[in-house]
Amino acid sequence: MPRDTSKQTEPALTDVRQSLVALIKQADRAGANALLDAWAARHGYEEVFKVLLEPALIGIGESITGEKHTLAQAYVAAKVAEDMLTRAVNQPGANAYAEPEKGPVVLGNAEGDFHALGRRMVATMLRSKGWLVHDLGNDVPPEEFVDQALATGARVIGVSAMTMTTAQGIRALRQELDTRGLTGRMQLAVGGAVFLVMPGLVEEVGGDGTASNMFAAPGLFERLWQASLQAETIHA
């Protein structure tokens, strides 16, 4: 009986995970993609997300705070997730995992804010966890956020703001939601560097929650989605 050599040569899962984390921490996008492609060739892209990428991203999110090249590491982590999503969608007979199964949600930068990087990385993290994301881009007026959320059926609006001035502008979005009677039913996620260092700012601008980094964003959106459903039940 011929021996199955593929089983023999396959490295242990923990070793592959460690290699993946190390590659992302070295900001080696090509290396991380090669490792994941090799795994996908044996197990499929659904397994890549569930078994390798998600645990690695959670681990990286918990460990890179305060490290020297956090930006490069976070950027490469998001791009690797984006690369895998693209490959998964483009696979012949792409499976349901590649299709959004949660949401929709709306994302954008606060009016006057042009710092796209964080927002884009959050969008990728959400998409990698199965969320349908409508990304409205930079410098989005409050009315447009709400109009688009209503048009798409979103229960969560995510707003990114880098500075105190643009963060304070989120108050107008809070007011827009309240004025249109959407309080509770449409939840407001806020994020950006300023929220991490200014205690109380989330509440001050009327946000319903924030995440400490992009890796924690899917969990926040899950909580807020549930809060929206509960609010609707209460008011029904």
Partner 1 sequence: MTPSPESPVVLVTCSVFRAEVTHLWKTCWPHLKVPFQSSMLHMNPVKLGCRLEMVVDNELRQGRRVVLVYGECFPGMGELESRPGVARTRGGNCAEMVLGHKEYVRLLRAGAFFLLPEWAAQGDRYFRRDLGLNRDNATSLMRDSHNTLLYLDTGVAPIPEQGLQAVSRHCGLPWEILPVSLDRLRAVIEDALQRLGPLAAPD
> Which spans of this chain sit near partner 1 (rule: CB under 8 A)?
27, 29-30, 68-69, 71-73, 75-76, 79, 114, 116-117, 120, 139, 163-165, 193-194, 197-198
In whole angstroms, the minimum distance from the beta carbon of 115 to partner 1 comes to 9
Cβ-based nearer residue to partner 1, 40 or 78: 78
In whole angstroms, the minimum distance from the beta carbon of 185 to partner 1 comes to 31
DSSP H/E element including 229: helix 217-235
In whole angstroms, the minimum distance from the beta carbon of 10 to partner 1 comes to 29
Cβ-based nearer residue to partner 1, 114 or 230: 114
Shortest CA distance to 227 belongs to which of 182, 175, 185? 185
In whole angstroms, the minimum distance from the beta carbon of 124 to partner 1 comes to 11
Contacts of 129 by beta carbon, 8 Å cutoff, 6+ apart? 54, 102, 218
Cβ-based nearer residue to partner 1, 22 or 193: 193
Let me know: does 8 contact 42? Beta carbons within 8 Å.
no
**What is the C-alpha to C-alpha distance for residues 223 and 232, in angstroms, rounded to an integer?**
14
Cβ-based nearer residue to partner 1, 66 or 92: 66
Shortest CA distance to 65 belongs to which of 234, 214, 229, 221? 214
Cβ-based nearer residue to partner 1, 120 or 129: 120
In whole angstroms, the minimum distance from the beta carbon of 114 to partner 1 comes to 5
Q: What angle do CA 151, 201, 207 make, to 5 degrees?
A: 20
- DSSP helix/strand/coil, 183: strand
**What is the C-alpha to C-alpha distance for residues 67 and 83, in angstroms, rounded to an integer?**
24
Cβ-based nearer residue to partner 1, 51 or 193: 193
In whole angstroms, the minimum distance from the beta carbon of 78 to partner 1 comes to 10
Cβ-based nearer residue to partner 1, 26 or 183: 26
Burial 108-138 (b: 16+ CB within 10 A, else e): bbbbebebbebbbbbbbbbbbbbbbbbbbee
Phi, psi (rounded to 5 degrees) for 107: -125, 155
Let me know: does 122 contact 214? Beta carbons within 8 Å.
yes
In whole angstroms, the minimum distance from the beta carbon of 152 to partner 1 comes to 23
